[in-house]
Amino acid sequence: MLAVESIVDLRREIALLRRQGKRIAFVPTMGNLHAGHLKLAQIARQHADAVVASIYVNPLQFGPKEDLAAYPRTPEQDKKGLEAEKTDILFMPTDAEMYPRGLDVMTKVEVPALGDILCGQFRPGHFRGVTTVVNRLFNLVQPDVAVFGKKDYQQLMLIKLMVADLGLPIEIVGVDTVREADGLAMSSRNNYLSPAERQTAPKLYATLGRLRDRILKEGAVRPGMEADTARELETAGFRPDYISIRRAADLAEAGPQDKALVILAAAWLGRTRLIDNLEVSVQI
């Protein structure tokens, strides 16, 4: 695996892969890699001849009171993990390389409406930072396919929309969430959990599972389901930002007639904000 930090070096290596006629898959990450990230690299390999990964903690997607400074950084461990997955190129740019004119004046890319609901409502500007950095990385790497996890379902939908709206010739592949044995979705922010909180955290996924079972039993979304689930989480010790049942195709609010659904949740446990989701297919 070749690790590069500059755009010049990245483009030189990408050009070499292109001259060799190779199909390129891309896995963008913020580092502190776990088995979920490495699964993305494995799936990327199934879709292409060469895999390019990036590690960049993007300041544009952090709010002023969020955890940019504390976000875990483990570059040497990450390199070993990606090398074990036979990643071809690892791009590890600096802020100056990514935003040479400065964060405040660089061109921004935004997907309106969808980026303002759910997590976008509680983290203003977050998704603008995500789509801006992903679009820049797409332009630098110019992959044929890019792979993202479904754990952040809203992010995946936003990137798909951005790619469609901007006419980017990139296939977007979503990969199912990788979970711990007790059901907790793998996340770098799980490192923030205290031992007691780590014991409680799997209850988020379990609670979503009970909501899914209720939807399947009743055959449709009914009023009060989200509020009931929020109260259940509060009783377990969480502070929910939201519990929302949405149409899986576009994240519009789901009605009784909708059958392909996704339950999305964001909730605080101590100082850690956890997100999760669960897709639901109601049988007609």
Mind telling me the catalytic residues? Answer: 37
- 222-225, Cβ contacts within 8 angstroms, sequence gap of 24 or more: 222/256
Kindly state the DSSP code that residue 252 receives in the 8-state scheme: P
Q: Are the C-beta atoms of 35 and 53 separated by less than 8 Å?
A: no
Candidates 73, 37, 56; CA nearest to 147 is 37
Candidates 132, 163, 143; CA nearest to 40 is 143
Buried b (16+ CB within 10 A) or exposed e, 77-99: ebbebbeebebbbbbbbeeebbb
Candidates 224, 225, 234; CA nearest to 267 is 234
Q: Are the C-beta atoms of 264 and 153 separated by less than 8 Å?
A: yes
Which residues are CB-neighbours of 260 under 8 A, at least 6 positions away? 247, 248, 249, 279, 280, 281, 282
Count CA atoms closer than 13 A to 266's CA, side-chain side.
15
